[in-house]
Amino acid sequence: MVKIPVRQYFALIARYLQPQRRRVVWMALCLLGSIGLQLLNPQVLAEFVDTVTGENTRYPILSIAVLYIAAAGGGQILNVVTTYLASQVGWAATNALRSDLAGHILGLDLAFHKSHTPGELIERVDGDVSLLNKFFSQFTLLFGGNVLLMFGIVVAVSMENLVAGGAALLFALVALAVILRLRQVAVPYLAAHRQLSAEFYGFVGEHLTGREDVKANGARGWMMRRLLLHYQNWLLAFHRMRLAGTLVWGSSMAIFVFGNVIALAIGAWLYYRGDISLGTVFLLYSYFSQLSRPMEQIQEQVEQLQQADASIARIRSLLDTQSALEDVGTSPVPAGAFDIGFSNVSFRYEDSEADPSGAWTIDELDIHLAAGETIGLLGRTGSGKSTLARLLLRLYDPQLGAIRFNGVDLREMPVSELRQRVGLVTQDVQIFQASVRENITFFDRSVSDSVITEALEMLGLGDWLHSLPHGLNTQLGAEGRGLSAGEAQLLAFARVFLKDPGLVILDEASSRLDPETESLIERAVERLMHGRTGVIIAHRLATVQRVDTILIMEAGRVVEHGRLAALASDPGSRFAQLLKVGLEDVLV
Ligand code: ADP
């Protein structure tokens, strides 16, 4: 049975229909008009029959015909306007909800994003919200409208004859109850079909993503067999669903025909008793057959309500999810380059499966980086370097200790401002399917070409820009097609450079680069770090030699920290040993 969380429905309706009150009022007026015309139609028909058979001569037959055509035409026009308004209301409301949800999801912390796949979130923002389209645009009004129409028909029939009115009421209630129950018969088949189609798309999605592996490992035959098996099950479920649907539809039709039989029987009986005219027999018949449409629509709307029910619950719980990061700080983020203090910082990922023992990913880190200096982070994979970078961007908060910029705790600054002042270049730079210009400015049209060109020149990328076939207009493919890993990093440097942050965090590309790109990157890093505090997760000897201090990490702990020159010249230091064995071989 449908469980209706009425408060949630009204909260959603109030919030998203409020801005469109005027359209909704117009929709309601059109609907009322259309109900009035539908109720008027059989009356005109009855008048027509009685005039033709000579039972009364109240109106000339031509006026009745004109009225009939006007009512039919008016009804159609009102239908078109209502459908138009409903679709506008539905789209405006769902788009507002979509953007609220997308904004909310983007504001949630990384731990949330790690535990929800992009596909799942797309389904929430788009799939669930699309299901609500009809709910917003039609449900409340049309449901009410249909109930009103049924009620109006019963009243109109009763006004002609009380016995017929009683029969109409009884028929309407019993038929509606039976139709709604019939619907339940088809529900499991519908659900099974939906489940199988979800599984099918899940299967296809997974294998399309892994197509290279599938091909490389010769798993094509196996995959095709699984695909055919999916098709086979899907087809079976589809047939069952169609069969159940047809049976339900056929039974509903039989019920409506039965309604017509009742109307004709009562009509004939009353006519032969001389209680009503032939026109009224027509009137009863057309009112009874009019009952079928609102009943069908109510059945459809109950189904939509069931779907909306699950979607609303999921959307609600998503909107209720709060970011694990409290964003209440108001202290301004320092301008220019700032110093960074880690005081006794310990952090672990809450849901860390990698560390069931509860070991810290960052363990009592207590260091200070001077403003404008660059630190090189070294350590094997998994030692906690990227985690340290994430803490600086406040993607997570440490459980113990504090991180401070110029003495101000990160938690005291507004998150968005903080991230505006910290530039991050990761190893896998996201390139969008757009022009070089859009990729650099993140689609911000207010940045002029000259500013971008200047930034690229400053970073020593002028020649690179000229080498692009269409300059800033060169189109880049999705997933960075057409750019090497090094070039993607160069592009990311330009992004950060335009942002002009006080701290730059760079996770160097660990893949080997061609000498030309390598030297471009070196120069660009030099310019990028100029006048800013820098944290470089280094993989290259050339980069390491340019930093001011070195920090070597192991399992979240600092094992060596000191100035580059001092460590390099101390043969006993780990750093000196690393240099001897070759940085690239040990750290990548
Ligand atoms: P590095 O950058 O030095 O390779 P990371 O900071 O990425 O190291 O990882 C440090 C440790 O934290 C590793 O044991 C890793 O498995 C774990 N880790 C990294 N990211 C997450 C995450 N999102 N959730 C849980 N554990 C993580």
d(CA 514, CA 518): 6
Whether 472 shows a pLDDT value over 80: the answer reads yes
Whether 280 shows a pLDDT value over 70: the answer reads yes
For residue 543, the model assigns a pLDDT of 80
Closest atom of ligand 1 to CA, residue 383 = 3
Whether 481 shows a pLDDT value over 70: the answer reads no
Q: Could you report the per-residue pLDDT of 285-298, keeping only the tens digit for each?
A: 999 999 998 998 88
Are the CB atoms for 397 and 415 separated by under 8 Å? no
Whether 528 shows a pLDDT value over 80: the answer reads yes
Query: Where are the extended beta strands (E) located within 387-518?
Result: 400-405, 408-409, 422-425, 503-507
- Nearest CA residue ID for atom 22, ligand 1: 349
Closest atom of ligand 1 to CA, residue 390 = 6
Under the banding of pLDDT at 50, 70 and 90, the label for residue 353 is: low
Nearest to 440 by CA among 507, 486, 497: 497
- Given ligand 1 and candidates 352, 355, 508, which is best to mutate, with the most ligand atoms within 8 Å of its CB? 352
Cβ-based burial of 571 (10 A; exposed 0-12, middle 13-18, buried ≥19):
exposed
Whether 390 shows a pLDDT value over 80: the answer reads yes
Nearest to 295 by CA among 185, 175, 164, 157: 175
d(CA 517, CA 539): 15
For residue 310, the model assigns a pLDDT of 77
Q: How far is CA 519 from the centre of its chain?
A: 42
Cα(290) to centroid of ligand 1, in Å? 66
509/467: higher pLDDT: 467
3-state secondary structure (DSSP) of residue 361: coil
CB 338: neighbour CB atoms within 10 A? 22
Cα(363) to centroid of ligand 1, in Å? 13
The DSSP call for residue 508 is -
d(CA 447, CA 441): 7
**Cross-strand bridge partners of residue 139:** none
Would the CA dihedral through 314, 319, 321, 324 be positive or negative? Answer: positive
- C-alpha separations of 564 from 90, 548, 555, 575 in Å: 63, 6, 22, 9
Structure tokens at 582: 């070759």
* Angle ∠(379,381,384) on CA atoms, nearest 5: 70
Nearest to 128 by CA among 86, 98, 161, 158: 98
Q: Could you report the per-residue pLDDT of 24-33, keeping only the tens digit for each?
A: 899 989 989 9
User: For residues 248-287, b (16+ Cβ closer than 10 Å) or e, as one string?
Assistant: beeebeebbeebbebbeebbeebeeeeebbebbbbbbbbb
d(CA 582, CA 193): 59
Nearest to 485 by CA among 426, 532, 542: 426
Cα(349) to centroid of ligand 1, in Å? 8
Averaged pLDDT for residues 19-48? 90
Q: Please list, in sequence order, all residues whose beta carbon lies within 8 angstroms of the beta carbon of residue 290, skipping any fewer than 6 positions away.
A: 38, 41, 42, 149, 153
Q: What is the pTM of this model?
A: 0.68
CA quadruple 190, 303, 300, 151: dihedral, nearest 10: 150
d(CA 305, CA 311): 10
CB 144: neighbour CB atoms within 10 A? 12
Are the CB atoms for 315 and 135 separated by under 8 Å? no
**Cross-strand bridge partners of residue 409:** 404
- Nearest CA residue ID for atom 25, ligand 1: 352
Residues in the chain: 588
3-state secondary structure (DSSP) of residue 560: strand
Closest atom of ligand 1 to CA, residue 377 = 3
Lowest mean pLDDT among 63-72, 346-355, 493-502: 346-355
CB 428: neighbour CB atoms within 10 A? 13
- Given ligand 1 and candidates 109, 349, 539, which is best to mutate, with the most ligand atoms within 8 Å of its CB? 349
- C-alpha separations of 33 from 26, 75, 151 in Å: 10, 8, 15
- C-alpha separations of 21 from 26, 85, 220, 293 in Å: 9, 12, 56, 27
d(CA 86, CA 111): 39
For residue 261, the model assigns a pLDDT of 95
Which amino acid is located at 219 in the chain? A
**Cross-strand bridge partners of residue 505:** 424, 535
- Nearest CA residue ID for atom 7, ligand 1: 386
Closest atom of ligand 1 to CA, residue 380 = 3
Under the banding of pLDDT at 50, 70 and 90, the label for residue 588 is: very low
Cα(387) to centroid of ligand 1, in Å? 6
Cα(459) to centroid of ligand 1, in Å? 31
- C-alpha separations of 291 from 30, 80, 144, 150, 167 in Å: 20, 21, 15, 6, 12
Q: Could you report the per-residue pLDDT of 132-171, keeping only the tens digit for each?
A: 887 777 776 778 889 999 999 999 999 989 999 999 999 9
- Nearest CA residue ID for atom 21, ligand 1: 349
Pocket of ligand 1 (CB under 6 A): 114, 349, 352, 354, 361, 379, 381-387
d(CA 278, CA 271): 7
Are the CB atoms for 290 and 50 separated by under 8 Å? no
Whether 479 shows a pLDDT value over 80: the answer reads no
CA within 13 Å, CB half, 261: 6
For residue 36, the model assigns a pLDDT of 92
In percent, how much of the chain has pLDDT > 70? Answer: 95
Cα(55) to centroid of ligand 1, in Å? 91
Average pLDDT, the chain: 86
Structure tokens at 551: 């920090």
Under the banding of pLDDT at 50, 70 and 90, the label for residue 2 is: very low
Averaged pLDDT for residues 530-548? 87
For residue 175, the model assigns a pLDDT of 93
355/232: higher pLDDT: 232
Averaged pLDDT for residues 474-481? 70
Cα(558) to centroid of ligand 1, in Å? 16
Distinct helix (H) and strand (E) counts, the chain: 23, 10
Under the banding of pLDDT at 50, 70 and 90, the label for residue 1 is: very low
Cα(549) to centroid of ligand 1, in Å? 23
Cα(385) to centroid of ligand 1, in Å? 8
Whether 354 shows a pLDDT value over 60: the answer reads no
Q: Could you report the per-residue pLDDT of 54-98, keeping only the tens digit for each?
A: 877 788 888 999 999 999 999 999 989 988 998 898 899 899 999
Closest atom of ligand 1 to CA, residue 354 = 16
Closest atom of ligand 1 to CA, residue 110 = 23
Under the banding of pLDDT at 50, 70 and 90, the label for residue 11 is: confident
Are the CB atoms for 167 and 288 separated by under 8 Å? no
Helices (H), 273-396: 278-290, 292-320, 385-392
Q: Which residue has the tokens 């672990």?
A: 348
Lowest mean pLDDT among 161-170, 176-185, 299-308: 299-308
The DSSP call for residue 473 is G
